[in-house]
Structure 1
Amino acid sequence: MIEGLPSDVDVPGEMLLAGYFVAVPERPTVAGLPRTERLTSASDCLIGRFPDDGCWFGTAQEALAACLPLQLPVDARLYALLVPSEHVGGFVADIRAAETDEPVLLAHLNGQKPGKAAREVAEGGHKLGWEVLGYDCGLLHTWLCNDLYEEGRLHLGVDTDERGLLPDRQAALRVAAWANTRGDTKPVTWFPGALIEWDTPIESGLGPVTTEAPAPSAQQPWWGRIF
């Protein structure tokens, strides 16, 4: 039974689940992006999403089931995006202003109590890190695709890890606040988000890969220590 995250996922409290997605980390070849072999993001701009770009799922089971008939690369993985509750309002406002069809994102983010959705995140995932995102016309953009990376390093003293992610919530908050003061990015409300990954190959038409849920942790999950 998929119930909650293990105790090593140290994501701060008051978080809401935006949704699940399946993606493949990429090696960026564009100047101005972090040099990494496995760039990982919830953004539609920088990595391959499955089954299609912009495809969000309400549960881990739905995401895995949608991938069964596909020919997925072997490094495709399941991810979840968590958003601090105080930044959900701007995210939802931009979705509504775009008048796009986002039933999963709106169902999870609009009017849901903090912690309720976070407790539904699957057992066995681990926190990757933080990024800064913004929603515009059906696409979830990242600060990295808005030419902010080099300036962020120079002016804010922040840097990303081997996945192209920020190390903690405070760094993401600083980048989001800074990006929101600028007039040279996508017209979005920038917000911080935490990525969770399940490092288990996904069963698909590519081959007989087993995707069994890991055994529940014996320790108290991170949300149990927060809520």
Structure 2
Amino acid sequence: MIEGLPSGVDVPGKLLLAGYFVAVPERTTVAGLPRTERLTSASDCLIDRFPDDGCWFGTAQEALAACLPLQLPVDARLYALLVPSEHVGGFVADIRAAGTDEPVLLAQLNGQEAGEAAREVAEGGHKLGWEVLGYDCGLLHTWLCNDLYEEGRLHLGVDTDERGLLPNREAALRVAAWANTRGDTKPVTWFPAALIEWDNPIESGLGPVTTEAPAPLHSSPGRAESSISQKLMGFSSRT
């Protein structure tokens, strides 16, 4: 399962694997965010990732094994984050500057920008799209939680898909460059990144949560909107 790139994935050269994580897409109806049933991000500002502590993993097997003791929602999925090599240095520098313990991300990325062989990505996944992220104080923030979505659509002419993701590398590069010129976001180095998703439900030793219907994504729209609002309040977009 872990040799080679995901089958059928059109991944440009020099994309480096940052790590794997397990997450649940969110339904969003909050103003200033894309309206979508399945917002997906490597940032936990807007979606839930599992386990709550130590949610980054160096291999797909490690991520799946960590979820075995948990009771996960039926829509939890495995993801991988890939970062263009030219943006790895800024990402690593922000991790080190924050003084936080990120052994997986550092082990995966540190030194790769200097020419080390990129770590291989597990087979069986498919590329979802691109997002723009920045690391600050132990957290990955997304441009969506920094009140940039509406302005990005207006000034850059970019838009997101049904997952809240940008369609290609070029759009993500434009958003990242634009966000880095601003002084009203989190004090991070914004960088583009690609997401890979595996369609298989996550196996759990306790079994998946099945007490609620899997569609819509959350049984109560109000609950989903409240969840997103609480996350936005917890991760203020202004310094």
Q: Mark yes or no: TM-score above 0.5.
A: yes
Where does structure 1 differ by over 3 angstroms across 4 or more consecutive aligned residues? none
Cα distance in 2, alignment partners of residues 110 and 164 from structure 1: 29
**What's 1:45 paired with?**
45
Structure 1 residue 88 and structure 2 residue 88: aligned? Answer: yes
Q: Does 1:116 align with 2:118?
A: yes
Q: Quick one: distance in 2 between partners of 1:141 and 1:202?
A: 25
Q: Which residues of 2 match residues 96-175 of structure 1 at below 5 A?
A: 96-112=96-112, 113=115, 116-117=118-119, 120-175=120-175
Q: Hey, what does 1:225 align to over in structure 2?
A: none
Measured in 1, the distance between the counterparts of 2:202 and 2:80 equals 15
Shift of 1:44: 1.5
What TM-score does the superposition give when structure 1 sets the normalisation length? 0.88
Q: TM-score, normalising length from structure 2?
A: 0.83
Gaps of 5+ in 2: 209-239
- Deviation, structure 1 residue 32: 0.2
Judge conservation of contact 1:91–1:189 (CA < 8 Å) in 2: yes
Q: Given the superposition, is the C-alpha separation of residues 75 and 179 from structure 1 closer, same or farther in structure 2, using an over 3 Å criterion? A: same
Cα offset, 1:114, TM superposition: 6.1
**Aligned equivalent of 2:61:** 61
Deviations 1:91-130 (A, max 9, x none): 011000000000000001110246521xx21110000000
1:183 maps to a residue whose letter is G
CA distance in structure 2 between the partners assigned to 1:44 and 1:166 by the alignment: 18
Report which stretch shifted further, 52-61 or 158-167.
Answer: 52-61
RMSD of aligned Cα (Å): 1.5
Following TM superposition, by how much is the alpha carbon of 1:30 offset from its aligned partner in structure 2, in angstroms?
2.3
Structure 2 counterpart of 1:26? 26
- Residue number in structure 2 paired with 1:211: none
1:37 counterpart SS class: strand
Report deviation, 1:8. 1.6
Deviation of 1:2 after TM superposition, in Å, equals: 2.0
Per the TM alignment, residue 48 of structure 1 is displaced from its structure 2 partner at its CA by 0.4
TM-superposed deviation, 1:196? 0.2
CA, structure 1 residues 141+53, in 2 after alignment: closer, same or farther (shift >3 Å)?
Answer: farther
Q: Distance in 2 between matches of 1:6 and 1:61?
A: 15
How many correspondences in the alignment?
207
Q: What corresponds to 1:12 in structure 2? A: 12
Give the drift of 1:29: 3.5
Q: Does 1:2 align with 2:2?
A: yes
C-alpha contact (below 8 Å) 2:74/2:201 kept by paired residues: yes
